[in-house]
């Protein structure tokens, strides 16, 4: 594949694997349980290795091109000017706290946390770990055992930092909490392993906006894990904007645990990266929990966007809804791999899953795989997948009114994608995403023809 050579330009490939060789470095700041957790995570990777295409959840993603790059761990060196440019490029702020990470390391001088309600904490994870906060031990160990895969384990073994959000019972943080992860390689390919934790106490509410971006043309890898724990009645909205450099790799796990009557929603917008995989796992552990997962992925050129989703209904009367849309152009490859499991005893489950795709070129590729695994009676489950092309009659209609063909295609494509943008209730964020999506459609083909 050309991809391996394109993105490894100037980088000697390592047949034995760069990521596989990375080891945790003992740190005096880590509490003993964390040192142990890192050690056993690293051992797990050593014993089990990285996934292959024989693994059901990884069959659509070519990992060779990631595993053969000799990635090194990023050190805390910062380029303020470029990081600032990246932040400014995000557009208008959302009015709340903003934490910035450069190559996985916290940049306090570029971050801002204004007043928060009493008891609420928004800070970087490393500072909390250094204090030995024991609340984190079960959170870390849950993702540890059993391991989902080597990348999550690697994150535990290697993570330098990430965000930590903690909301006490009944507290609402009104303004969105923004987490910005900016990466650049500075010559050698770098990997960062941001780990973020959101603990939402009973009846608390918050909105988290996670943005991943990087310096164009650089080869780097983001291997991110975000864990969200919702206690009874908590409400958390999570937004993820994956706008990495087109030469980057992005692997992410959003791991969510919901107690009774809690509500979680996730909106993911996948635009960047050469290969990106955004995995969402939701465990509905409490009665009447509600989750809604939305996604828009737009691979073009030879981008690959994989979206594995697992929703486990482990308690009665919980509801889940998934709506993922793909817009695939040129040689892009989009994957939706959605899996709903209804455990025995999860009576009154209401689960829905929809995946719709728009193919814009003959070389574009889609794999869609909605799966239902129902182990109890008395459930309402629905799933569906569709793959289509632009409506030729609508295209003719627009052109007959004088709209040039390329513009007409972009208008109709945006009409397909905008449903996902319109699902963002937060006005300044919706405007930001709208611009990103519109810019993407405006540049999709023109760059090649002009």
Partner 1 sequence: MLSIENLHAKIGDNEILRGLSLELKAGEVQALMGPNGSGKSTLANVLAGHEAYDVTGQVLFEGEDLLAMSPEDRAVAGIFLAFQHPVEIPGVGNFYFMRTALNSLRRQRGLDEIDAMDFLELAKKKMELVEMDPSFMSRSVNEGFSGGEKKRNEILQMAILEPRLAILDETDSGLDIDALRVVANGVNALRSNDRAMLVITHHQRLLDYIVPDRVHVMAEGRIVRSGDKELARALEKHGYVGFDEVSLEPSVSVAATP
Binding site for partner 1 (CB under 8 A): 391, 393-394, 396-405, 407-408, 411-412, 414-416, 418-419
Cross-strand bridge partners of residue 368: 336
* Choice between 121 and 395, CB closer to partner 1: 395
- Which is nearer to partner 1, 106 or 416 (by Cβ)? 416
In the sheet that holds 319-328, the strands lie side by side as 105-106, 98-102, 177-183, 205-214, 235-243, 263-270, 290-297, 319-328, 350-359, 380-388
Name the packing angle between helices 405-422 and 392-400 (round to 10°). 120
Nearest approach, Cβ of residue 235 and partner 1 (Å): 29
Return the CA Rg of the chain.
21
The CB-of-221 to partner 1 minimum distance in angstroms stands at 35
Residue 354 CB, nearest distance to partner 1 (Å)?
15
The two structure tokens encoding residue 121: 């904490």
Residue 347 region by backbone torsions, left for phi larger than 0, else alpha for psi between -120 and 50, else beta: beta
Taking the complex as a whole, the smallest distance from the CB of residue 328 to partner 1 amounts, in Å, to: 18
Cα–Cα distance measured from residue 266 to residue 237, given in angstroms and rounded to the nearest whole number: 6
Choice between 28 and 393, CB closer to partner 1: 393
Is residue 296 within 8 A of residue 325, CB to CB? The reply is: yes
- Host H or E run for residue 58: none
Residue 214, sorted as left (phi over 0), alpha (psi -120 to 50) or beta, turns out to be: beta
Task: Compute the least distance from the CB of residue 53 to partner 1, in Å.
Answer: 36
Does residue 128 contact residue 164 with C-beta atoms inside 8 Å?
A: yes
Of the two residues 78 and 403, which places its CB atom closer to partner 1 in the complex? 403
Which segments of 123-242 does DSSP mark as H helices, in order?
Answer: 125-130, 136-144, 150-158
Residue 2 or 400 having the CB closest to partner 1: 400
Which DSSP state fits 227? E
Cβ–Cβ under 8 Å, residues 287 and 261: yes
> Which lies closer to partner 1 via its Cβ, residue 336 or residue 416?
416
Least distance CB 355 / partner 1 (angstroms): 18
CB of 199 to partner 1, least distance (A): 38
What is the nearest approach in angstroms of partner 1 to the Cβ of residue 416? 7
Closest CB 445 distance from partner 1, rounded Å: 16
Give the residues across from 310 on adjacent strands: 281, 339
Residue owning tokens 């709903």? 340
Q: Are strands 235-243 and 105-106 parallel, antiparallel or unpaired?
A: unpaired
Q: If DSSP states are collapsed to H, E and C, what string results for 245-288?
A: CCCCEEEEEEEEEECCCCEEEEEEEECCCCEEEEEEEEEECCCC
Q: How many residues does the chain have?
A: 450
Least CB distance to partner 1 at residue 93 (A): 26
Name the residue nearer to partner 1 (CB basis): 174 or 391: 391
Nearer to partner 1, 81 or 401 (CB): 401
Examine residue 146 and say whether the peptide bond preceding it is cis (omega within 30 degrees of 0). yes
Contact criterion met (CB below 8 Å) for 265 and 239 = no
Strands 319-328 and 290-297: parallel
Closer residue to partner 1 in complex, CB, 128/403: 403
Which one, 134 or 392, has the nearer CB to partner 1?
Answer: 392
């Amino acid at each position: 594949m050309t991809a391996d050579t394109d993105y490894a330009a100037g980088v000697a490939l390592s047949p034995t694997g760069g990521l596989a060789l990375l080891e945790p470095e003992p740190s005096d700041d880590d509490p003993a349980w964390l040192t142990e957790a890192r050690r056993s995570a690293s051992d797990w990777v050593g014993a089990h290795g990285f996934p292959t295409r024989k693994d059901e959840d990884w069959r659509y993603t070519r990992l060779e091109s990631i595993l053969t790059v000799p990635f090194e761990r990023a050190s805390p060196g910062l380029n303020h000017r470029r990081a600032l440019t990246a932040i400014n490029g995000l557009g208008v702020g959302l009015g709340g706290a903003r934490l910035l990470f450069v190559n996985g390391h916290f940049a306090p001088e570029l971050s801002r946390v204004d007043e928060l309600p009493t008891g609420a904490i928004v800070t970087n994870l490393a500072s909390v770990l250094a204090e030995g906060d024991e609340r984190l031990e079960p959170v870390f160990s849950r993702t540890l055992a059993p391991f989902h895969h080597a990348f999550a384990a690697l994150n535990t073994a290697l993570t330098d930092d990430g965000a930590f959000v903690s909301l006490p019972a009944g507290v609402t943080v009104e303004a969105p909490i923004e987490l910005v992860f900016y990466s650049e390689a500075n010559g050698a390919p770098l990997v960062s392993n941001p780990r973020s934790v959101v603990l939402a106490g009973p009846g608390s509410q918050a909105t988290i906006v996670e943005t991943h971006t990087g310096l164009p043309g650089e080869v780097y890898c983001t291997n991110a894990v975000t864990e969200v724990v919702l206690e009874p009645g908590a409400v958390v909205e999570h937004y993820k904007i994956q706008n990495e450099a087109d030469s980057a790799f992005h692997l992410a796990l959003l791991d969510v645990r919901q107690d009774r009557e809690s509500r979680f929603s996730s909106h993911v917008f996948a635009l960047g990266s050469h290969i990106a995989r955004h995995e969402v796992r939701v465990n509905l552990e409490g009665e009447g929990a509600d989750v809604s997962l939305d996604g828009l992925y737009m691979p073009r050129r030879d981008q690959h966007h994989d979206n594995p989703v697992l929703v486990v209904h482990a308690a009665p009367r919980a509801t889940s809804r998934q709506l993922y849309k793909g817009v695939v152009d040129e040689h892009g490859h989009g994957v939706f791999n959605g899996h709903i499991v209804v455990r025995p005893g999860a009576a009154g489950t209401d689960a829905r899953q929809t995946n719709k795709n728009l193919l814009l070129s003959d070389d574009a590729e889609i794999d869609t795989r909605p799966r239902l695994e129902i182990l109890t009676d008395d459930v309402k489950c629905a799933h569906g997948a569709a793959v289509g092309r632009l409506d030729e009659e609508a295209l003719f209609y627009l052109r007959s009114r004088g709209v040039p063909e390329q513009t007409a295609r972009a208008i109709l494509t945006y009409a397909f994608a905008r449903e996902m943008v319109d699902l963002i209730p937060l006005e300044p964020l919706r405007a930001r995403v709208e611009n990103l999506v519109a810019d993407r459609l405006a540049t999709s083909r023109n760059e090649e023809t002009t």
